[in-house]
Amino acid sequence: MQLPPLGEQTLRALVHGSPLAIFAVDRAARILFWNQAAERLFGWQAEEVLGRTNPIVPVERDAEFRLLRERAVAGEVYRGMDLTVRCKDGASAAISISTAPLKALQDGVDGVMVMAVDISERQAMLEMLQQSLDKSQRLFRQTIQTLATALEIRDPYTAGHQQRVARLAQAIAEEMGLSVEQVNGILTAALVHDIGKLCVPVEILSKPGRLTEAEFNLIKAHPQAGYEILVSIEFPWPVARIVHQHHERLDGSGYPQGLQGGAILQEAQIVTVADLVEAIASHRPYRPAKELSEAFDELRRFRGRRYLPEVVYACLAVFKKGFSLEGP
């Protein structure tokens, strides 16, 4: 069944009665049409704006609105330009506008139809969500810092170790061109990579002499303990697994699981290299600090066997570019 065409009066009534604010402008932005929803949204009656230059678009967005008009005149439909506009009473309203070509019967494109949706409530909700997200992120960072500090208070010989490892791991990840999300996950895991040492007796952590086999086995349990501490926390990254694997080696000689090759997360291998370099270059109860060159020799000697080659290259590169474990 073919429906009869709608008359001009019916079409005008439909547009006027639409709950969507609709107005039309010519190429110079003069108002040609202004429906009732536009009157309610912006405050101006039709007779106040017809023939006038568009009163709602702020000056700083005028060039953008002019481009939309030009694209519409060329026949293009555009959806979703968000902006804050002026209303008659001086208040501001957040709206999203779409534009479409407005055609006369015989003369082709001669103007632009603009449809506006009030998104003030949506914007307010987004701002509230952003504030909530910012607060959650602050609490998250504070929690991570608290965990890191708890270990360093207990083990003053390694004070600053996790922060230095985290800085180096971040620099390596960035040198490798990893995504922001991956870098953030690596940074977070590195900040707490030794959290499992909370389960190791402090007299073993600070023992100045050589460890017995039994004592060393307690030390070797700290990645597993760290995993068990962190696994129940819903991080957006595999933090617990990175901590669990930061003493694994490509050839299977690491601990606690003896993982090999691709079974070890790339992120964990980055923390591994950063941890190794910082540990060699720092003072320990059982030995003085060594030269960085010794750490680099270790990386070169076991590149591809224990340590991922691209991680080794990136580590050496960041130091060549001036990175310092003691900060900028």
CA 38, CA 29: separation in Å to the nearest integer?
16
pLDDT values of the chain reduced to their tens digit, one per residue, 328 residues: 454 555 566 667 777 778 888 888 887 888 888 999 889 988 889 899 888 887 778 888 888 888 888 888 777 888 778 888 888 888 888 888 888 887 754 455 568 888 888 888 777 787 888 888 778 778 777 877 777 777 777 776 666 888 899 999 999 999 999 999 999 999 999 999 999 998 888 888 878 778 888 988 888 999 999 999 999 888 889 999 999 999 999 999 999 999 999 999 999 999 999 999 999 988 666 666 788 999 999 999 999 999 999 999 999 999 999 999 886 5
What does DSSP assign to residue 45?
Answer: -
127 occurs within a structural domain: no
Give me the domain span that covers residue 149: 133-320
**Which residues partner with 79 through β-bridges?**
98
Q: Are residues 202 and 294 in the same domain?
A: yes
Q: Give Cβ neighbours of residue 32 (< 8 Å, ≥ 6 apart).
A: 23, 24, 25, 26, 50, 102, 111
**What gap in Å lies between CA 112 and CA 103, rounded to an integer?**
8
Q: State pTM to two decimals.
A: 0.64
Domain boundary among 118, 149, 164: 118
Q: Which of 118, 150, 179 is the last residue of a domain?
A: 118
Report yes or no on 325 lying in a domain.
no
Q: Say which CATH number the domain at 232 has.
A: 1.10.3210.10
Residue 267, Cβ neighbours under 10 Å: how many? 26
The pair of three-digit structure tokens given for residue 99, joined into one six-digit string:
């534009």
102 shares its domain with 151: no
Q: Is 48 part of a structural domain of the chain? A: yes
pLDDT at residue 87, rounded to an integer: 85
Q: Give me the pLDDT at residue 101, please.
A: 84
Answer yes or no: do 290 and 315 share one domain: yes
Unique residue bearing structure tokens 């632009």: 112
Question: Of 209, 180, 193, nearest to 284 (Cα)?
Answer: 209
- Tell me, what's the pLDDT at 173? 98
Do 200 and 218 meet the contact criterion of CB atoms below 8 Å apart? yes
Residues 60 and 163 in one domain: no
Count of the separate structural domains present in the chain: 2
Domain match, 187 and 312 both: yes
Instruction: Give the model's pLDDT for residue 106.
Output: 43
Query: What is the CATH classification number for the domain harbouring 109?
Result: 3.30.450.20
